[in-house]
Structure 1
Amino acid sequence: MTTSRTHPDFAELVRVSARIGCLSFGGPAGQIALMHRELVEERGWVSEEQYLHALNFCHLLPGPEAQQLAIWIGWKLHGIRGGLAAGLLFVIPGAAVILALSMLYGAAAHLVWFAALFLGIKAAVLAIVVQAVLRLAGRALGTRFRKAAAVVSFIALFMFNAPFPLVVIGAGLVGWFVARQRPALLGLKAEPATPPDTARPWRHSLWSALIGGAVWAAPMVAVLALLGRGHVLWRIGLFFSKLAVVTFGGAYAVLAYMAQQAVSTQHWLSAGEMADGLGLAETTPGPLIMVTQFVGYLAAFRAPAPFTPLVAGLLGAALTTWVTFAPCFLWVFALAPWIERLERAGLLKGALALVTSAIVGVIANLSAWFALQVLFHDLRPTSLGPVSLNLPQLASFDWRAGLIAAVSAFAIIGRKWNVIPVLALAAAGGWLLSQLSA
Structure 2
Amino acid sequence: MGEDRATSSTACEDGAAATPARVPLLKLVRYFLRLGTLGFGGPVALCGLMERELVGEKGWLTRAEMRDAIAVSQSMPGPLAIQVGIFAAYMRGGFWGAWAGGWAFILPNFLIVAALGALYVHFGGLAWMTAVFYGVSPVVIALILHSCWRLSKLGMEHWLQWAIAVVAFLITVVFKAEVALVFIGAGLVGLLYYGTPFRGARSPAPLSGLAPPVAGSLAQHVAAPSLLGKLLLFFLKAGSLTFGSGLVIVPFLEKGIVQEAGWLSPRDFLIAVAIGMMSPGPVVITATFVGFLVAGFFGSLVSTIGIFLPSFIFVLIVAPILMRHRGDPNVQGFIRGTYGAAIGTILGACVLLGRIAIGDVLTAVIAIAALGLLFRFKVSNPVLIAAAAVIGLVAYPLIRPHWVMVR
TM-score range (shorter-chain normalised) is 0.7 to 0.9
Tell whether the 8 Å contact from 1:249 to 1:356 is kept in structure 2 after alignment.
no
The reply on whether 1:143 has 2:126 as its aligned counterpart is: no
Structure 2 counterpart of 1:359 = 342
Flag the 1:241–1:13 CA change in 2: closer, same or farther, 3 A: closer
The reply on whether 1:239 has 2:234 as its aligned counterpart is: yes
Letter of the 1:274 counterpart:
F
Flag the 1:189–1:34 CA change in 2: closer, same or farther, 3 A: closer
Alignment of 1:36-435 (within 5 A): 36-178=51-193, 179-181=195-197, 188-189=204-205, 231-300=226-295, 313-376=296-359, 398-435=360-397
Tell me how far apart the structure 1 counterparts of residues 5 and 265 of structure 2 sit (CA, whole Å): 53
Letter of the 1:30 counterpart:
A
TM-score normalised according to structure 2 size: 0.86
The reply on whether 1:29 has 2:44 as its aligned counterpart is: yes
Letter of the 2:338 counterpart:
V
1:292-341 per-residue CA deviation (whole Å, 9 max, x = no partner) reads 111121112xxxxxxxxxxxx11111111111111111110112323431
1:1-33 per-residue CA deviation (whole Å, 9 max, x = no partner) reads 987532333322222222212111111112111
Tell whether the 8 Å contact from 2:75 to 2:326 is kept in structure 1 after alignment.
no
TM-score normalised according to structure 1 size: 0.80
Tell whether the 8 Å contact from 1:140 to 1:146 is kept in structure 2 after alignment.
no
Tell me how far apart the structure 1 counterparts of residues 229 and 326 of structure 2 sit (CA, whole Å): 37
Structure 1 counterpart of 2:13 = none
Shift of 1:176: 1.7
Structure 1 counterpart of 2:214 = none
Shift of 1:35: 0.8
Tell whether the 8 Å contact from 2:236 to 2:309 is kept in structure 1 after alignment.
no
1:259-309 per-residue CA deviation (whole Å, 9 max, x = no partner) reads 122112111111111111111112211111010111121112xxxxxxxxx
Tell me how far apart the structure 2 counterparts of residues 249 and 151 of structure 1 sit (CA, whole Å): 20
Tell whether the 8 Å contact from 1:249 to 1:359 is kept in structure 2 after alignment.
no
Unaligned runs of 5+ in 1: 191-225, 301-312, 377-397
Letter of the 2:302 counterpart:
L
Large movers: runs of 4+ above 6 Å: none
Aligned length: 367
Tell me how far apart the structure 1 counterparts of residues 337 and 287 of structure 2 sit (CA, whole Å): 26
Flag the 1:238–1:34 CA change in 2: closer, same or farther, 3 A: same
Flag the 1:182–1:111 CA change in 2: closer, same or farther, 3 A: farther
1:40-67 per-residue CA deviation (whole Å, 9 max, x = no partner) reads 1111211112111210100111111111
Tell me how far apart the structure 2 counterparts of residues 281 and 239 of structure 1 sit (CA, whole Å): 18
Structure 1 counterpart of 2:219 = none
Flag the 1:434–1:244 CA change in 2: closer, same or farther, 3 A: same
Shift of 1:250: 2.2
Letter of the 1:345 counterpart:
D
Tell whether the 8 Å contact from 1:60 to 1:352 is kept in structure 2 after alignment.
yes
